[in-house]
Amino acid sequence: MARFAFCVLALLLAGCATDPPQVLTPQYRPKAFVGPIVASAEVWPKSDWWNVFDSTELSGLVTEAQANNLDLAAAASRVLAADAQVTIERSALFPQVTGGAQAERSAGPVVVTSGSGNNRTTTATGNDFGLGFGATYQLDFWGLARDNLRSANEALKSARFAQEVVALTMTSSVADQYMNVLALRQRIAIANENIAAINAILDVIKLKVSAGASSDLDLAQEEAQVESVEAQLPSLEEQEVEARYALALLLGRPPEQFDVKARNLDALAAPAVAPGLPSALLLRRPDVAEAEANLAAAHANVDAARAAYFPQIGLSANGGYASAAVSTLLHGSSFGWDIGANLLQTVFDGGKLSGQEDLAKANETVLVADYRQAVLSAYSDVETALQQVANNTRARDHLVREIAAAQQAFDIAKLQYEHGTTDLLTVLQAQQTLFSAEDQLAQVTQARLEASVHLYEALGGGWSEDPNDRTQLF
């Protein structure tokens, strides 16, 4: 009796859903971020974080991308597909009812016996009408259907979170490409200003050469300097075109005739934002939530694989009417029915069920590692972005001071050369220093703004996981 009770208990427990494994040990949970944080910065970004760059044009581009981006449209369709799969799996919890009707007219040979004992064969024509229904119901005694439904629900959550990941990545990409276009335009403008400055010096050299005050060497050196800067323009212009085309694709537009109004980065503000506790980050990253849902779905598949070992119990019922005439089809004497039950237990399958369970467990192990990797990547993304913001801010401050000094040096060198108190090489070196610093400042300004974008992205872009969707505790 005790053995029988133990077996019954084991069978009942097999039908119970188990909780996903809790995989975040303390080694995966730092107590605080160590990256440089501005004390007065806002904690966590808002869901419309792109507005803090104070660009009406950028905000409009983001809004357009949210409506027309094709990757986002595909992600939304994947959510619909996952929702349809939930409906399919839920249907296993309900009876399947079918109905049908038939009408037949047939002719065939009939033997007729006369009173004299003589038999003859004739052809008879008859009608056959039927109306029937049937119902089957698979008892989910061991929880197999519920486990499959739970897996589908977690897959639906994963698809929703993946859609949020695509939306966040798309928005960040729009901001990055917009800033890239403006930075390249600014660098092109700097190159053109440098060419104009060189040409102004070239005019002075030509006058000095014609007056015999300078040699043709100075003229050749300055002409070479013009050509060197001119040679950089085609590459910058090509990069600007490619950046505009990439931005157009993010908006779901054909690249032809697409343009943006802004010409440089000067109008963009550089916002400050700071993260809260690392544990809170895991509730704000849709990619972490996606990995969490994938793990929960895999665990439900393990439960389903375990439940598949046990007998499947089904109920069935059929009923209907049959008659040779429509007028008598629904009479009580024309009704017939049957009910039944069946039990199906796999006796030998060559290891199929065992293999399915091993596969489900292996997939779960993979997704445990994927979830932990997503968590560590989330922390790393924030720390990296914090360092980028701080270091690019410092570099930009140094470059601003360098440009001020380089501009003064270039003005002095140019004036001295015009008065013959210094040589052309000094002018060329001062000019090159100024041009390089201005070009580098444009690139560092772009990097500083993009670092803010990456920090917003690393912090989840204002998204937050619904507590009801959580399966991991931290």
Domain boundaries, the chain: 17-94+140-310+346-469, 98-138+311-344
Please, what is the Cα angle at 461 between 458 and 464, to 5 degrees? 105
Q: Which of 86-90, 178-182, 320-324, 411-415 has the lowest mean pLDDT?
A: 320-324
pLDDT digits (tens, 9 = 90+) for 238-289: 999 999 999 999 999 999 989 999 999 998 998 888 888 898 999 999 999 9
CA gap 194, 239 in Å, rounded:
19
**472 or 214, higher pLDDT:** 472
At residue 15 the predicted structure's pLDDT band, cuts being 50, 70 and 90, is low
- The mean pLDDT of 49-54, rounded to a whole number, is 95
CB within 8 A of 160, min separation 6: which ones? 79, 82
> Which residues does residue 99 pair with via DSSP β-bridges, in sequence order?
133
CATH 3.40.50 correct for 98-138+311-344: no
Structure tokens given for 278: 């690392």
CA gap 215, 218 in Å, rounded:
6
At residue 3 the predicted structure's pLDDT band, cuts being 50, 70 and 90, is low
CA gap 73, 167 in Å, rounded:
10
Among 182, 204, 186, which Cα is nearest to 194's?
186
pLDDT tops 80 at residue 327: no
DSSP 153-171: HHHHHHHHHHHHHHHHHHH
pTM for the full predicted model: 0.88
- The mean pLDDT of 373-396, rounded to a whole number, is 96
CA gap 220, 203 in Å, rounded:
12
Query: First and final CA of the chain: distance in angstroms?
Result: 44
CA gap 287, 366 in Å, rounded:
16
CB within 8 A of 66, min separation 6: which ones? 72, 167, 170, 171
pLDDT of residue 451: 96
Q: How far is CA 373 from the centre of its chain?
A: 16
Q: How far is CA 68 from the centre of its chain?
A: 15
Sign (positive or negative) of CA dihedral 454, 460, 462, 463: positive
Say if residues 417 and 426 touch (Cβ distance below 8 Å): yes
- Tell me if 17-94+140-310+346-469 shares its fold with 98-138+311-344: no
In whole numbers, what is the pLDDT of the chain averaged over residues? 90
Looking at domain 17-94+140-310+346-469, which CATH architecture does it have?
Up-down Bundle (1.20)
- The mean pLDDT of 333-346, rounded to a whole number, is 86
CB within 8 A of 153, min separation 6: which ones? 86
